[in-house]
Structure 1
Amino acid sequence: MVLVIACVLVIIAALIHVAIFWMESVAWTRPAIWARFNVADQAQADSNRDLAFNQGFYNLFLAFGAVTGVVLLAAGLHAAGYALVFLSVGSMLAASVVLLSLGTKFAAAALTQGLAPLIALIVTVIACTTV
């Protein structure tokens, strides 16, 4: 049962990162989107567009790794599944800590990006140790 809860939490973390991918790589040109990333104006958004596009794909790949880990866990391939989950949600969490290190103005974004991976990581550790 703990493993099921862990997998649900990992999927939630992945979905958040898919949403971030969409904002950074697909919808970046919309003022409502780039304003969420503390971008001041259209000129700054335009100059950051390529960086945001690339960063969005990082988020997508982390989400893909997390979901692949869950699929492997569901298939009974625990070693590979746990490894991918730990790498993916651990990287999501680490990225949120880096974001927070940039200043308190990024605290809300860091919390959005990092809370689900943190909880998923904790519950996955519990699931892994109770098998």
Structure 2
Amino acid sequence: MAIVASVLVGLAALLHVYIWYMESVRWRTPAIWKRFGLASQADADTTAPLAYNQGFYNLFLAVGAALGVILYWTDARDAGFALAVFSAGSMFAAAVVLLSTGRSRLRAAATQGTLPLLGVVFFLLALAF
């Protein structure tokens, strides 16, 4: 269970690094801002500071999740568990918040939230067994 949880949380971390890249590095690229539902380059330019900031939130969650998984497999198992579950749980919570903005965000919320949710579930199962 712990191996599956670690892989899922690790994949969630990688996904959130990619989200950081899109939001903080490539935001003004038409392919990216269109993916996020913006209508124009002007909209992308206007929202770039917000996206930049949001991207770093995703990066920090990814770092926390990855560090948690690494620590879990060392002598700091309890700290790793707490950090991995907290970070992945925060990723899932962010997906729920995204979904609360409208049904049109269902696909994005599912993409963002499924791996971390499953990772948390499997870490909790690993704790129970």
Same fold per superposition (TM over 0.5): yes
Q: Contact 1:82/1:128 (CA < 8 Å) preserved in 2?
A: no
Aligned to 2:6: 7
Aligned with 2:111: secondary structure? Answer: helix
Aligned to 1:126: 125
Give 1:73 deviation, angstroms. 0.7
Give 1:29 deviation, angstroms. 1.1
Amino-acid identity (%) = 52
Aligned to 2:17: 18
Aligned to 1:111: 110
Uncovered stretches (5+) of structure 2, i.e. residues with no partner: none
2:52 aligned partner, one-letter code: F
Q: Counterparts of 2:101 and 2:85 in 1: how far apart (Å)?
A: 24
Give 1:77 deviation, angstroms. 1.4
Give 1:74 deviation, angstroms. 1.0
Where does structure 1 differ by over 3 angstroms across 4 or more consecutive aligned residues? none
Aligned with 2:81: secondary structure? Answer: helix
Once the two structures are superposed, what CA deviation does each residue of 1:6-35 show, in whole Å capped at 9, x if it has no partner?
Answer: 101110010110010000001111000011
1:74 aligned partner, one-letter code: W
1:1-131 equivalences under 5 Å are 2-130=1-129
C-alpha RMSD of the superposition: 0.7
Q: Counterparts of 1:78 and 1:129 in 2: how far apart (Å)?
A: 15
Once the two structures are superposed, what CA deviation does each residue of 1:22-56 show, in whole Å capped at 9, x if it has no partner?
Answer: 00001111000011111111111100000000000
Give 1:76 deviation, angstroms. 2.9
1:82 aligned partner, one-letter code: F
Q: Counterparts of 1:45 and 1:59 in 2: how far apart (Å)?
A: 19
Q: Counterparts of 1:122 and 1:83 in 2: how far apart (Å)?
A: 13
TM-score, normalised to structure 2, is 0.97
